[in-house]
Amino acid sequence: MADLDDRLDRLIADTGHMTPAVAKAFRAVPRHLFVPPVAVACPQNRYGTAYGVDRDADPGEWWDAVYSDTGLVTQLDDGATAISDVVGPDGEVDLAKVGGYTSSSSAPTVVAYFLRHLDAAPGHRTLEIGTGTGWTAALLAHLVGDQNVTSVEVDAAIAAQAAKHLGEAGVQPHLVVGDGADGCPERAPYDRVHVTCGIRAVPYAWVEQSRPGAVIALPYQPGFGVGYALRLTVAPDGNAYGRIGREVDYMLMRAQRPPELQPADPAQARDFTTRIDPRLIARVPGGADLVISALTGLRCYSHQGEDYQRVWVINDSGEGVSWAAATWEADQEEYEGYQIGDRPVWEEVVDAYFRWVSWGEPGQDRFGMTVTPEGQQLWLDSPEHVIG
């Protein structure tokens, strides 16, 4: 199919981090075999813009989206909302009807980046966490051999669709429906672990089920700020060590999703003012977000209106919910906020930010992580310099 060959040539040429082995895998298992007829496209170069693509209504647009550096959302609200119900005839997505994006086919550049850093070779026994559409499972199967891939998916409906896609593509990895945090001990030990969902706390099971020298590649979503690629290597001492890489944005593993923020009784709120511009907290640079997450365990999100920006800082660690919100408005010397609960979360975040400043504002590439049976530790420059 000449048109498909041309599309693959352009995609491979335009996709960064493409090694010869990964490029060969991209050709062997074309992406379109794993994309449903209707999806929501989230282009890398059009931040905040999403649009629907429908293979039957506009096949040209669908093919263009599939063979571009575009993330394609394939499930909404854990399957409770059909994508066709939120996409209008003009392709516009009615976000008011969407609770959340819950499964996708990641943008090819990000897929190639993780596969490059995974460095999987023929014969490597590989565990994939999050089968999704099945595309990365198929790519892994091409790299290491079908019989060496074990892919775990928590959502039975997604797993069934992935099995169908893989069968039609002639690929036969070992598929498991279950919680990816548990790994798959009966197929261990693994040489590679490839994770396709965001992780706040790295499950030690993945380290325990890997042989010394194994590589674990995952999207680390610390909860504050953006997410990052993390490449860990398992050591003979039973720990895993690795460094933070480029920014990535993945949907969180379902078992690690934070609880929804519940409405609070206004009578319980404590008002405060701050001289810190709330936008500073909403937009902390790479490195600062890692330090804030490690020191506080808090998460953050914000909403920007036409002439204001509100920032929430939230503790949902199980110690009793506390959260604070502060609002930026133009021409203010101090900004108004309010606090729910006893923990001074706003002050903690501000203190952690300025501690990062006092260290010389190190970027994310200077940070790394150690994973042990007791948990994970973020460090600066070397494992001896633990943050916390």
Would you please indicate which residues are annotated as catalytic (active-site) residues?
Answer: 106
**How far does Cα 376 stand from its chain's mean position?**
18
The one-letter amino acid code at 268 reads Q
- Cis amide leading into 43 (omega within 30): no
Tokens representing 173 are 């990895």
Checking DSSP bridges between strand 190-195 and strand 174-177, what pairing results, if any? unpaired
175, β-bridge pairs: 151
Short-list 118, 88, 130, 134, CA closest to 215? 118
Tokens representing 68 are 């571009």
Biggest distance spanned by C-alpha atoms of the chain: 67
Distance CA 110, CA 52 (A): 21
DSSP-assigned letter for residue 307: S
Instruction: Give the C-alpha distances (Å, rounded to integers) separating 307 from 52, 98, 218, 275, 377.
Output: 29, 25, 37, 18, 39
Neighbouring C-alpha atoms within 13 Å toward the C-beta of 174: 15
377, β-bridge pairs: 370
Distance CA 189, CA 205 (A): 11
374, β-bridge pairs: none
